[in-house]
Structure 1
Amino acid sequence: MQFDQLALPEPLRKGIVEAEFTECTPIQELTLPLTLKGKDVAGQGQTGTGKTAAFLITLFNRLLTNTTVTGNHARALILAPTRELVVQIEHDARLLGMHCGFSIQAVYGGVDYARQREGLRQGADIIIATPGRLIDYLKQKVFSLSAVEMLVIDEADRMFDMGFIADLRFILRRLPPFDKRQNLLFSATLNHRVMELAYEFMNVPEKISVSGERITADAIEQVLYHVSRREKFPLLLGLLRRDSMTRTIIFTNTKREGEHLHARMNANGFPCRLISGDVAQEKRLRIMKAFKEGSLPILIATDVASRGLHIEGVTHVINYDLPEDREDYVHRIGRTARAGAKGKAISFADEIGALSLEDIEEYIRYKIPVEWPEEELFVSDFKRAAKPKHTTKPGKGTRAPRKRNRPVSR
């Protein structure tokens, strides 16, 4: 189905054309005929299949066609679990809605507290937010959700994983009744907990899934290497030297492992940066901007970056550590082969990671193809880098050393 087959308002149609969207993806083709008629939908699809555009087109269509609006309150609310995802949705919303004339306010922690507060106070048509910062402003009575006519919850399963469900319910109970607004829920996975939330806060939602037989995208070439922990870095260097990896994301399970890998990569001539949960937001945005623009070829990340980020042209994803959560495997490798492109996902299964492998393969419903690397692929002449030192402050899991009284000299 082509976008020009949809009966959309001219300002929205213009934004779609300028964003160079022509043909609907499967999830857009299934959901848009329903959502454009005002139907509530809980949509599931592989990551990178166009869920964001599906709900943004519906949102702009609803706001443009409803002209009986009074007051200066927010008309639409989009909730997402991470700051990176909020920033990405805001970018896409400004692109698709560039001719629609609506004010958009992103709300997330780490930056611009006063500016975000003022933007809400003045009145924004569309709010895109993480739950925590939004609740902060709600409790201050900076703005009201009483006029919201469109609700979108993105990556709802991640809301559960990150412990946001109580915050989510706090916000949803301050909206108009579910039958007085349109509600959309999109996620890469829809489990029992998510559907329970959908039936509680949505108006008889229709469940749409385009996962089919495979949970992961067909365009992703996957390969698994069984290696010892000591062999992972030599093999990684060998693969980077052999293959053309123009834009690569390497995932580690912990910040400490990421910091060590970051130091070793830079010491061996592979410039890279690291993002993790405690990297300052402004710094994280600068790193992501450099990676998207291509000046930074390699990004090392913990799972903070595994969901919701649409980065054009990611050629490779490398699971330096296999994830402990099987669903995170799907989200990680979904950073490549987005929007119809092809990509490659490489995973290392060491002594610890191999314990997660059976659960991952059970979840994706097939065996990840295994390759056995040639001996010459392992690099032996690499430079070593010291592991980052982590000190624990007194009161943070350790006891401060007890002071001893020195004997007084007489």
Structure 2
Amino acid sequence: MKFSELKLPEQVMKGIEDAGFVDCTQIQAETLPLALSGKDVAGQAQTGTGKTAAFLVTLFTRLLNQEKQGDKQHPRALVLAPTRELVVQIEQDAQLLGKHCGLSVQAIYGGVDYMLQRNALREGADIVIGTPGRLIDYLKQKVYSLSKIEALVIDEADRMFDMGFIADLRFILRRLPPFDKRQNLMFSATLNQRVMELAYEFMNLPQKVQVTPEQMTAERVQQVLYHVGRKEKFPLLLGLLRREGMERTMIFINTKREAEFLNERLMANDFPCRMISGDVDQKKRMRILEQFKEGKLPILIATDVASRGLHIEGVSHVINYDLPQDAEDYVHRIGRTARAGAEGKAISFADEDGAFHLEAIHEYIKEKIEVEWAEDDLFVHDYKRSKPKHKQLEVKTHGKSHQHPHARPGEATGNTAPPKKKRRRPAKKKPEAGSAQPGTAAN
């Protein structure tokens, strides 16, 4: 199906043309006819299949075809997403697709200027895209109202459960107009029992659409698995980076601490890279992502905060330095490459711990990852160890400056003399019985 076959407003079609879209993806072809007719939809599809465009086209069409009610302050549509990165990605897609619609879009998420977003929301926006936490914060302050919401979108619904947002999600949904007075769209990588219970509670008889291909992973991703010891992972990584000539590579790791350690070692060995995790400041995260998207940064190390919702074109390789504990996360991780019909390669390391997760991953993706055995010459053992990050303490002695990395404040260093020991005064003897006290006469 082509977008031109759908009865879309001219403003929306111009945005679709600007984005370069011609043919609908499978999830778009199956959900758009239902959603454009006003029905509620609960859609399932793997990552990178065009779910975002499906609900944005529906929102723009609905808001353009219906006359706005109420004042400017109250938003008309609400999009809920679990992560800041996904919110930013949706906003960027909305600005592109809705460029000619004359509708204002505002993103709300934590980690950026609090008052700036607060004032922007107070001034009013037609479509609000946000994470639950900060939306609730402004809602309690009565910065905006949800009383005029005409359309609701819940994106990555299964992730909402996984990240513990379900209580916040219910808090927001209970403050919307009745479910039969608005259109509701829900999209998720999986429509499990928990997600469908949420759909039946807050949606109006949703049409369930499942797009599940024969293989769970993207078709053009070449998957390779290396069985390697924990201590041999970094030497193998260096060998692969040198051999493969990876132009734009994402390396996934399970913990922030290990990500920092890997980032430091790669930098020490002349591989420019940056790291993002949930603890990194939001502005810094967005700056790093922009550098990666623009090709200024060849390697991006990330925890699973970057495994969903990010559309970065031209990612040539995805490396699972750690295999994920959740099989679904494996699909989302390798889905960062081979997007929009491109080709890519996903390389995974299975160490002593990661091997325990392989069976669940194979069962979930309904195929076995091809195993390759690394030859000895692929391992790089003469690499530089990263330097310790301790601060050196500068001590001046006789007008010269000396570095003492292990000195403590107040500790003797350099040529300075050790501190003199204080002499202990002898304890005073108690007077014997019958002896005269000092300063008194004897009887």
TM-score by shorter chain over 0.5: yes
Residues 68-147 of structure 1: matches in 2 within 5 Å? 68-72=68-72, 73-147=74-148
The answer (yes or no) to whether the contact 1:41–1:207 under 8 Å persists in 2 is yes
- Residue aligning to 1:42: 42
Whole-Å separation in 2 of the counterparts to 1:409 and 1:192 = 78
Name the aligned partner's letter for residue 332 of structure 2: H
Deviation string, structure 1 residues 161-189 (Cα, Å, up to 9, x no partner) = 11000000000000001111111111222
Whole-Å separation in 1 of the counterparts to 2:355 and 2:18 = 46
1:359 CA drift (Å): 1.3
Whole-Å separation in 1 of the counterparts to 2:190 and 2:343 = 22
Whole-Å separation in 2 of the counterparts to 1:387 and 1:223 = 34
- Residue aligning to 2:430: none
1:245 CA drift (Å): 1.3
- Residue aligning to 2:437: none
The answer (yes or no) to whether the contact 1:259–1:388 under 8 Å persists in 2 is no
Whole-Å separation in 2 of the counterparts to 1:150 and 1:129 = 14
The answer (yes or no) to whether the contact 1:260–1:386 under 8 Å persists in 2 is no
- Residue aligning to 1:376: 377
What SS does the aligned partner of 1:357 have?
helix
- Residue aligning to 1:279: 280
The answer (yes or no) to whether the contact 2:43–2:186 under 8 Å persists in 1 is yes
- Residue aligning to 1:217: 218
1:388 CA drift (Å): 6.6
- Residue aligning to 2:347: 346
Gapped runs of 5+ residues in structure 1? 390-407
The answer (yes or no) to whether the contact 2:69–2:148 under 8 Å persists in 1 is no
- Residue aligning to 2:51: 51
What SS does the aligned partner of 1:7 have?
coil
1:277 CA drift (Å): 0.7
Residues 258-407 of structure 1: matches in 2 within 5 Å? 258-386=259-387
Gapped runs of 5+ residues in structure 2? 391-422, 426-443
Deviation string, structure 1 residues 257-307 (Cα, Å, up to 9, x no partner) = 101100111111110000011000111010000000000010000111111
1:202 CA drift (Å): 0.8
Whole-Å separation in 1 of the counterparts to 2:16 and 2:389 = 47
The answer (yes or no) to whether the contact 2:70–2:148 under 8 Å persists in 1 is no
TM-score (norm 1): 0.93
TM-score (norm 2): 0.87
The verdict on how the C-alpha distance between 1:387 and 1:204 changes in structure 2, with shifts beyond 3 A counting, is farther
The verdict on how the C-alpha distance between 1:231 and 1:295 changes in structure 2, with shifts beyond 3 A counting, is same
Residues 169-184 of structure 1: matches in 2 within 5 Å? 169-184=170-185
Whole-Å separation in 1 of the counterparts to 2:192 and 2:140 = 31
1:70 CA drift (Å): 3.2
1:18 aligns with 2:18: yes
1:220 CA drift (Å): 1.2
1:213 CA drift (Å): 2.1
Give the count of matched residue pairs.
Answer: 393
Moved more, 356-365 or 255-264: 356-365
Whole-Å separation in 1 of the counterparts to 2:275 and 2:170 = 33
Moved more, 377-386 or 307-316: 377-386
Residues 153-164 of structure 1: matches in 2 within 5 Å? 153-164=154-165
What SS does the aligned partner of 1:309 have?
coil
Whole-Å separation in 1 of the counterparts to 2:113 and 2:181 = 32
Q: Relative contact order, CA 8 A, sep 6+: which one is greater?
A: 1
Identity %: 73
The answer (yes or no) to whether the contact 2:46–2:189 under 8 Å persists in 1 is yes
The higher radius of gyration belongs to: 2
